[in-house]
Structure 1
């Protein structure tokens, strides 16, 4: 058991793009596909796994380390079982106004590795839900330190979401040039009902040479589920939205793409957005 390879993927994207919602529904889907998954929230807000924990906040690694120290015994106080036996962990961060949030992520990931938590708890696949785009070295740690060599970028068709997605692609391109093994496995589109949104995202994906894995539609089922403190997979398993998450999970499980992207210049990205903005004005 201890020698098996654990598949580890990182979910990146602009803050507020819906990474935690997507990650939780993805992890819940994995749990229904005869896998034992873990979700690791890498954000000081510590709200990544709420819908896997019936809407509850859990103690974070940062909080446990501050209160009890960083022994292996105390570390397990930050390890929870959520929906369908999913392993739930939040890195947390410093007390507001003190310290570096990215440093909190690094400490958390190092302790997970040091104590072999994923191996000891027989995890098959781990999902790292990471704050924002890579503007801080601390939040780059899941890929910089080699925890997750498989990266998915979440975006909508909005300019700032694509700007962040392009920054992430540029960061991974740079890391690859430095000899790191992390690669982009695909783009996941989390739709906001922007005009010609699918076309925008598909063209962007083609321009940076990264496959588009799946379009996740906007749906009222997401908010309804979150108000219940649950994922769509748990609350509305027969819904079309749940089927979209299952389709995404299966596509990821069968995806072998590991790509060094070709990030766009700011000028090229702006050209792309203007192209679709002009087409909207002509309607």
Structure 2
């Protein structure tokens, strides 16, 4: 996997990580062999690439002692390879365990030895537990991007993710602003990126095309390929692919973060 672009996308639940990951994967698929690994217990990262929900690695292993590649890796839109690690039922067990189990199985099945160009991990950023650090800690991913809006909880989670990246000495490639339409949003996210020693690498405006596509379990790039919104995802994919500026982030402590956020309100 030495020449493979290995990207981890983190962010709080509901911020638009899966939408971002699936659309940039669709963009990459035009010229590259792509593998997408959903590391969110909701197991919904690849729904718009595959057209429906996939069996998760954890569920497959519950039913079978020894899974094969075809049991856990599924071909989606434009030959994107799709995997969902899965997680336990709500309130039962560790959500990060699915990530650990999935990575171990994919390594054992030599999925990473395939002729890949891009591997993208979609990782939940609300929970700071061992499983969600695996893409970084185990050196599966070389670079990290954080999806956030200008909202308090999204930025709070982004700042926490920066703490994890710093601890693991990961490479932060930039902040992706997935707009929710709040006042001064781009300014807030730009200032946040500067504050943690990074940059905004992409801005995705709000668009009803996202929901319209997702209702049909498709990416914007598949459903509305000529739309402006598809163009924003294409540009983000290109900017991430060619990015070679990385930093170890400098997160704010809680008092500093509160003060930072208050200045905009």
User: In 2, Cα distance between the equivalents of 1:85 and 1:68?
Assistant: 26
61, 68, 73: which one aligns with 2:64: 68
Cα distance, 1:271 vs structure 2: 1.3
Superposed counterparts of 1:31-46, under 5 Å: 31-32=29-30, 34-46=31-43
Q: Which residue number in structure 1 is paired with residue 95 of structure 2? A: 101
Deviations 1:75-110 (A, max 9, x none): 431110000000000001234544322111101011
Runs of 5+ in structure 1 lacking a partner?
177-181, 278-283
Deviations 1:12-32 (A, max 9, x none): 011110100111001001112
User: In 1, Cα distance between the equivalents of 2:91 and 2:109?
Assistant: 29
Q: Which residue number in structure 1 is paired with residue 85 of structure 2? A: 91
179, 182, 203: which one aligns with 1:191: 179
Runs of 5+ in structure 2 lacking a partner?
none
66, 82, 99: which one aligns with 2:76: 82
Does the CA contact (< 8 Å) of 1:134 and 1:140 recur in 2?
A: no
Q: Which residue number in structure 2 is paired with residue 112 of structure 1? A: 106
Q: Which residue number in structure 1 is paired with residue 136 of structure 2? A: 143
User: In 2, Cα distance between the equivalents of 1:43 and 1:67?
Assistant: 21
Match of 1:101, SS state, is: coil
Does the CA contact (< 8 Å) of 2:176 and 2:200 recur in 1?
A: yes
> What is the root-mean-square deviation of aligned Cα atoms in Å?
1.3
User: In 2, Cα distance between the equivalents of 1:251 and 1:77?
Assistant: 33
Cα distance, 1:41 vs structure 2: 0.4
Q: Which residue number in structure 2 is paired with residue 280 of structure 1? A: none
Q: TM-score by structure 1 length?
A: 0.90
Does the CA contact (< 8 Å) of 2:135 and 2:141 recur in 1?
A: yes
Superposed counterparts of 1:114-133, under 5 Å: 114-120=108-114, 122-133=115-126
Cα distance, 1:202 vs structure 2: 0.5
- For these two proteins, the number of residue pairs brought into alignment is 265
Superposed counterparts of 1:109-258, under 5 Å: 109-120=103-114, 122-176=115-169, 182-258=170-246
Match of 1:276, SS state, is: coil
Does the CA contact (< 8 Å) of 1:8 and 1:150 recur in 2?
A: yes
User: In 2, Cα distance between the equivalents of 1:76 and 1:4?
Assistant: 24
Match of 2:36, SS state, is: strand
User: In 1, Cα distance between the equivalents of 2:261 and 2:18?
Assistant: 26
